[in-house]
C-alpha cells in the first residue's frame, strides 16, 4: 500500500499541472496517513517488528515528506514526528558496530550511514554520537539501555563505544507480518563482533529451509518436549508495563510466552502430514502443549556479564531444550559444563548454566539430518553453518534455572557460580569473576514469597543485586531488613524512548 500510494503522490507533486493532481494527492495522502498511523506504534517501531522492514516504509514516508517540502507544501507536524521517531528506533537499537537488529525476516543491515545522515537532517546530536561511537555529537542521557514498550523490544548496553557490550531481548508481540516464532530470544555482541545471534531469514521459498529459519529451533529460546512456540498475538493495543527497569548499576527486564507449543511447520513430519490430508487419509491431530508457560528475565551488570533466568511453569516435568547459537565466525568448544568461543584477540563469551537442571550439552553445526540445525543467514538467499549449543534436561514444574553469559576479549575465564537456597519461582546465585569477591543476584519470576538475600535482607520484588561492597540494588520492588525497614526500593515508572536525548 505504501509503495503504490507513494507512486501516486509523486505523480501529483511532480506534475501539479495535471487536471486531477490535487484529487490524486488528496486521495493518496489520506490513505498514506492512515498507513502511517496503522503501521507505526507510538514508540516509533513499525508493527512488523522487523528491523529490515522497518526501514522500507520509513524510506517512503520520509521521501513523501521531502517531496512535499520541495513542492512548497508543509507536511503535518505529527507526520514529521513519526518519521523522526522511526529513525530514533534505528539509532537506539543499533549495535556498537553500526549494524541494525537481525530479527524476524531481517538481513544484517549496516544502518550507521543512514542514522548519521538522519542526525544531520533532523539536527539530532545524540544520533550523531551513537553513529560515530562518541567521536562526534552529544552523548545521550542515561546508560544507553532502552526499551521500546509497544514493540516489546529491549536493548541493553554497557556504553556507546565500538567495543561495548550489547544485548537484544525480544519480549513483545509476534508482529503483523514477517514474524518468527522466537519470543524471549536473546542476542549478544561484545568487543566489536556478534557472538550469540539470531539465525536470520535466508529466503521465502516454502519448504523445510524456510520452516527452519522462522522456527523456534533457529533462535535462542527453549523448546518443550521437542516442540516449538505457537504463533503469538500479532498486534498490541497497549505498551508493556511493570516488567523492565534501567538503574544506575544494572538493567532488568522479563517477559512471558504462554501461547503453547506444537510440532513445527515445514518439517518433514509436517509435510508428510499435509500430503496425507490432501490424499484424503485420516491424520492424527498434531501433538501440542497448551498449558506450559515460559518466563525469561535478562539482567545486565554493565561491563561484567549478563544473567538469563528461566522458569518453566507446568503441571508435570517436561524435557526442555535450551538453544544458544554462536556467530559463524566464532570458534566454539565445550569446557566442562560450560560452552565458550575461543578466538584469540577477539570478542568472546562463555555460557555457564546454573540451577537445579542436569543439562546434557552437545554442539551442532551445519546439520541437515535428522533435522536442520546450525545454520545462519546474514542476507537474503545466503546461508552458512554456525555452531549451536543444544542443552537438554528434565525440568520440573515451576522450576527456575539460569545462564551466566560472560563476554571478554580473547580468553574468557570460567566464573565461579553457586546456587543458593531460594523459594519456588525464584533463583539466587553467587557469581565471582577471576577470584574477586562474589556478587549475589536474586530474581523472582513467580510466587509472592519474599526471597532472603545477602546478610539478612528480604527481596520483595523482582530482582536484587548484592555487591561485595557498596549499596545493594533492587528492581521492581524493595529490599527490607529483619525489622521490616526498607533498605532499597524501586518503583516502576513508564519509560518513553522518544524522550531520550
69-123, pLDDT tens digit by residue? 999 998 888 899 999 999 999 999 999 999 999 999 999 999 999 999 999 999 9
- Phi, then psi, of 405 in degrees rounded to 5: -110, 110
Average pLDDT over residues 294-319: 95
Residue found under cell 578466538: 343
What mean pLDDT is reported for the chain?
93
- Top pLDDT among 499 and 229 is at 229
**The C-alpha cell that represents 20 in the structure block:** 486531477
Instruction: Give the pLDDT of residue 207.
Output: 85
- 415 Cα distance to chain centroid: 25
> Are 478 and 462 within 8 A, CB to CB?
no
How far, in Å, CA of 20 to CA of 24, rounded?
A: 6
**The C-alpha cell that represents 420 in the structure block:** 543458593
Instruction: Indicate if the pLDDT at residue 271 is higher than 60.
Output: no
How far, in Å, CA of 163 to CA of 29, rounded?
A: 44
Instruction: Give the pLDDT of residue 291.
Output: 83
Instruction: Indicate if the pLDDT at residue 340 is higher than 70.
Output: yes
C-alpha angle 262/266/272, rounded to 5°? 95
Instruction: Give the pLDDT of residue 275.
Output: 59
Portion of the chain with pLDDT greater than 70, in percent: 95
The H or E element spanning position 418 is strand 416-420
SS (H, E, C) 101-123: CCCCCCCCCECHHHHHHHHHHCC
Cis? peptide before 370, omega within 30° of 0: yes
Average pLDDT over residues 283-302: 83
Average pLDDT over residues 169-185: 96
> Are 225 and 294 within 8 A, CB to CB?
no
Average pLDDT over residues 126-155: 96
Q: What is the DSSP letter of 153?
A: E
Instruction: Give the pLDDT of residue 77.
Output: 86
Q: How confident is the model at residue 286 (pLDDT cuts 50, 70, 90)?
A: low
Instruction: Give the pLDDT of residue 435.
Output: 83
pTM as predicted = 0.93
Instruction: Give the pLDDT of residue 501.
Output: 54
Instruction: Indicate if the pLDDT at residue 274 is higher than 60.
Output: no
Instruction: Indicate if the pLDDT at residue 283 is higher than 70.
Output: no
344-374, pLDDT tens digit by residue? 999 999 999 999 999 999 999 999 998 999 9
The H or E element spanning position 209 is helix 208-214
Average pLDDT over residues 227-248: 95
Number of residues that make up the chain: 501
Smallest CA-to-CA distance from 337 within 352, 324, 348 is with: 352
How far, in Å, CA of 48 to CA of 105, rounded?
A: 9
Instruction: Indicate if the pLDDT at residue 64 is higher than 60.
Output: yes
Residue found under cell 533457529: 218
- Interaxial angle between packed helices 2-14 and 21-39, expressed in degrees from 0 to 180 and rounded to the nearest 10: 150
Instruction: Give the pLDDT of residue 203.
Output: 93
Instruction: Give the pLDDT of residue 288.
Output: 74
**The C-alpha cell that represents 390 in the structure block:** 543444544
Instruction: Indicate if the pLDDT at residue 186 is higher than 60.
Output: yes
Smallest CA-to-CA distance from 331 within 411, 402, 403 is with: 411
> Are 180 and 213 within 8 A, CB to CB?
yes
470-487, pLDDT tens digit by residue? 899 999 999 999 899 999
SS3 content of the chain, % helix, strand, coil (to 5): 20, 35, 45
Amino acid at each position: 500500500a505504501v509503495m503504490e500510494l507513494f507512486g501516486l503522490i509523486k505523480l501529483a507533486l511532480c506534475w501539479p499541472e495535471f487536471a486531477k493532481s490535487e484529487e490524486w494527492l488528496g486521495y493518496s495522502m489520506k490513505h498514506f496517513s492512515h498507513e502511517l498511523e496503522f503501521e507505526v506504534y507510538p514508540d516509533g517501531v513499525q508493527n512488523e517488528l522487523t528491523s529490515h522492514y522497518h526501514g522500507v516504509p520509513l524510506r517512503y514516508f520520509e521521501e513523501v515528506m521531502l517531496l512535499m517540502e520541495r513542492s512548497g507544501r508543509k507536511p503535518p507536524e505529527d507526520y514529521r514526528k513519526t518519521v523522526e521517531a522511526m529513525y530514533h528506533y534505528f539509532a537506539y537499537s543499533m549495535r556498537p558496530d553500526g549494524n541494525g537488529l537481525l530479527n524476524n525476516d531481517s538481513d544484517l543491515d549496516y544502518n550507521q550511514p543512514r542514522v548519521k545522515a538522519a542526525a544531520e537532517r533532523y539536527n539530532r546530536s545524540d544520533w550523531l554520537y551513537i553513529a560515530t561511537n562518541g567521536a562526534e555529537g552529544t552523548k545521550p542521557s542515561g546508560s544507553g539501555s532502552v526499551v521500546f514498550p509497544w514493540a516489546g523490544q529491549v536493548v541493553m548496553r554497557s556504553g556507546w563505544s565500538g567495543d561495548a557490550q550489547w544485548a537484544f531481548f525480544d519480549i513483545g508481540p509476534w508482529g503483523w507480518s514477517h514474524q518468527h516464532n522466537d519470543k524471549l530470544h536473546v542476542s549478544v555482541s561484545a568487543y566489536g563482533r556478534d557472538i550469540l545471534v539470531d539465525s536470520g531469514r535466508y529466503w521465502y521459498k516454502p519448504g523445510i529451509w524456510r520452516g527452519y529459519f522462522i522456527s523456534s529451533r533457529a533462535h535462542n529460546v527453549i523448546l518443550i518436549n521437542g516442540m516449538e512456540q505457537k504463533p503469538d498475538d500479532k498486534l498490541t493495543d497497549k505498551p508493556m508495563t511493570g516488567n523492565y527497569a534501567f538503574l544506575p548499576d544494572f538493567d532488568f527486564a522479563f517477559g512471558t510466552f504462554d501461547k503453547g507449543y506444537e510440532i513445527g511447520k515445514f518439517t518433514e513430519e509436517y509435510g508428510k502430514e499435509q500430503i496425507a490430508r490432501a490424499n484424503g487419509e485420516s491424520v492424527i491431530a498434531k501433538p501440542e502443549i497448551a498449558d506450559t508457560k515460559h518466563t525469561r528475565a535478562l539482567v545486565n551488570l554493565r561491563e561484567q556479564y549478563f544473567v538469563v533466568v528461566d522458569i518453566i511453569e507446568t503441571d508435570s516435568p517436561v524435557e526442555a531444550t535450551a538453544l544458544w547459537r554462536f556467530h559463524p565466525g566464532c570458534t566454539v568448544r565445550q569446557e566442562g559444563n560450560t560452552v565458550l568461543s575461543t578466538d584469540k584477540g577477539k570478542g568472546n563469551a562463555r555460557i555457564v548454566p546454573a540451577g537445579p537442571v542436569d543439562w546434557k550439552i552437545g554442539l551442532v553445526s551445519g546439520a541437515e539430518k535428522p533435522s536442520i540445525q546450525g545454520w545462519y543467514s546474514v542476507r537474503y538467499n545466503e546461508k552458512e553453518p554456525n555452531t549451536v549449543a543444544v542443552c537438554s534436561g528434565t525440568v520440573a514444574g515451576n522450576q527456575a534455572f539460569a545462564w551466566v553469559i560472560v563476554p571478554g576479549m580473547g580468553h574468557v575465564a570460567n566464573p565461579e557460580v553457586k546456587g543458593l537456597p531460594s523459594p519456588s519461582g525464584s533463583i539466587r546465585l553467587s557469581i565471582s569473576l577471576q577470584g574477586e569477591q562474589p556478587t549475589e543476584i536474586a530474581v523472582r519470576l513467580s510466587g509472592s514469597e519474599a526471597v532472603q538475600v545477602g546478610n539478612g535482607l528480604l527481596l520483595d520484588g523482582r530482582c536484587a543485586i548484592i555487591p561485595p561492597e557498596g549499596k545493594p540494588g533492587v528492581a521492581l520492588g524493595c529490599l527490607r531488613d529483619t525489622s521490616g525497614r526498607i533498605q532499597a526500593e524501586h518503583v516502576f515508572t513508564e519509560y518513553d524512548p522518544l524522550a531520550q536525548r
